Amino acid sequence: MKVAFLGTGLMGLPMAQRLLEANVQLIAYNRTPEKLAPLQAAGAEIAAKPYQAISEAEYVILMLTNSAAIYSVLLSDRSWHTLAGRTVIQMGTITPRESKEIRDAVAAVGGEYIEAPVLGSIPEAKTGKLIVMVGAQQQQYQRHLELLKHFGSNPVLVGSVGTAAALKLALNQLIASLTTAFALSLGFAQREGVNVDTFMQILRQSALYAPTFDKKLQRMLDGNYANPNFPTKHLMKDTDLFIDEAKSVGLNVSSIEGVREILEMAMKMSFADDDYSSLFSAINLEH
């Protein structure tokens, strides 16, 4: 088995490293070649162009920023025609509609396509403990299960292509909304003179608690958003995707539109490349 890994950013790099650690043959491509140095040092082949990576491999894993990047890297004329007989596994966050369109484009030249977006961040990517959600037919899922297990021990078949993409967006909406709600309550408690330890002690004992609150608490208290596992700009992108998709199926999106305004404020405060817990600073503006 040989895998072409396209997109070695914050998540793609540790995921590709997992494959190398498992002695999977790997050829990697990234639009910023400097990011490939750790993989090359660990034994991966490096491709200067996407089509070169695709033509050498049986599997093509995509961990790219958005659908526009997928179209430019995978579905350019030169790359697209090399997909015949290969399996494309799309693991980034895109919409169900985009995923189906890419599936149809891959199928049109005789390739196979499944989606397998992941939940988790860099620590889980490094340890192979991501939650892998699969959109595929049952037989495709079974055929590619062993490869997907390198990223998470129990990949879950959600349904056909599009369903896993939808589930991923639904979960990322929760990331944005839960973190914003927690930041607002934390800021309010602080302003009203409530001891933070007392606030957390009560919260942890309640049905309202989510583990993500403790993961983000210290960053918010310290105002330290450096070295992100998930940057604000990526959560902003996913929030926009969710809003568009949720509107298209007739849902009331007022709550997440409010969250989007706060994310936009954090972006304007120059936190785009910092951890998304920076939205606390957008909520907790000095008065």
DSSP symbols for 196-236: HHHHHHHHHTSTT--HHHHHHHHHHHHT---S-SSBHHHHH
Residues 6+ away with beta carbon under 8 Å from 155:
116, 132, 133, 134, 141, 145, 148, 149
DSSP 87: E
DSSP symbols for 127-147: HT-PEEEEES-HHHHHHHHHH
Catalytically annotated residue among 2, 49, 126, 168: 168
Q: Which two tokens stand for residue 149?
A: 């297990």
CA distance 231 to 237: 10
Known active-site residue 168: yes
Q: Which residues are identified as catalytic? A: 168
